[in-house]
């Protein structure tokens, strides 16, 4: 009788990491110090709303810009102190830099885009418009 490895939960990232290790055996994919934050994008009557959960990230470490209908969010999640005894049982909290670009589903007034960072959630409000602008706008985050 042969043994079969039991997996309590299917983890698509673990499977992808194993595949990458087979193709690039000298690189360690898990050592990459970056991540891609999840986003919710939805439309209200007059706005397109983008919400990004960024728990543990300081708003000073996040920058947002919008250019030609594409919203760009980038920043860094820093760990204040590392546990010296690295005998972790599980380490799932992602640290490092992040970068995300979202094509907005409607034409927005790029000069009036605003952002609010409350309770670990970055909420970006993009007012819809009929005209099209093509210049880059950096957005200030309100705490």
- Give percent above pLDDT 90 in the chain: 29
Q: Residue 16: beta bridge partners?
A: none
Ranking 21-30, 57-66, 82-91 by mean pLDDT, the lowest is 21-30
The answer to whether 138 and 64 have CB atoms below 8 angstroms apart is: yes
Domain ranges across the chain: 33-79+95-142
**Alpha carbons 82 and 61: distance in angstroms, whole number:** 19
Name the pLDDT band for 37 (thresholds 50, 70, 90): confident
Residue 110: its pLDDT value, please? 87
Ranking 4-13, 15-24, 112-121 by mean pLDDT, the lowest is 4-13
Q: Which residues contact 46 (CB under 8 A, 6 or more apart)?
A: 127, 128
The answer to whether 51 and 39 have CB atoms below 8 angstroms apart is: yes
What is the arithmetic mean of pLDDT over 14-25?
72
Ranking 66-70, 71-75, 97-101, 127-131 by mean pLDDT, the lowest is 127-131
What the block records as the tokens of 119 is: 């309770």
**Alpha carbons 127 and 111: distance in angstroms, whole number:** 9
CATH match for 33-79+95-142 among 2.30.30.280, 2.40.160.20, 2.120.10.30, 2.60.40.790: 2.60.40.790
pLDDT, tens digit, for every residue of 77-131? Answer: 877 656 666 677 776 677 788 889 999 888 888 889 999 999 889 999 999 987 6
The pTM (predicted TM-score) of the whole model is: 0.65
């Amino acid at each position: 009788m042969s043994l079969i490895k039991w997996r309590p939960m299917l983890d698509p990232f673990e499977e992808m990491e194993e595949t990458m290790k087979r193709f690039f055996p000298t690189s360690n994919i898990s050592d990459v110090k970056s991540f891609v934050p999840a986003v919710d994008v939805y439309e209200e009557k007059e706005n397109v709303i983008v919400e990004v959960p960024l728990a543990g990230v300081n708003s000073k470490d996040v920058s947002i810009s919008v250019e030609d209908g594409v919203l760009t969010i980038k920043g860094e999640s820093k760990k204040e102190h590392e546990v010296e005894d690295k005998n972790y049982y599980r380490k799932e909290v992602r640290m490092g830099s992040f970068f995300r670009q979202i094509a907005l589903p409607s034409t927005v007034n790029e000069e009036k885009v605003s952002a609010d960072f409350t309770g670990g959630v970055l909420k970006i409000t993009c007012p819809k418009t009929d005209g099209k602008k093509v210049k880059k706008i950096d957005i200030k985050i309100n705490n």
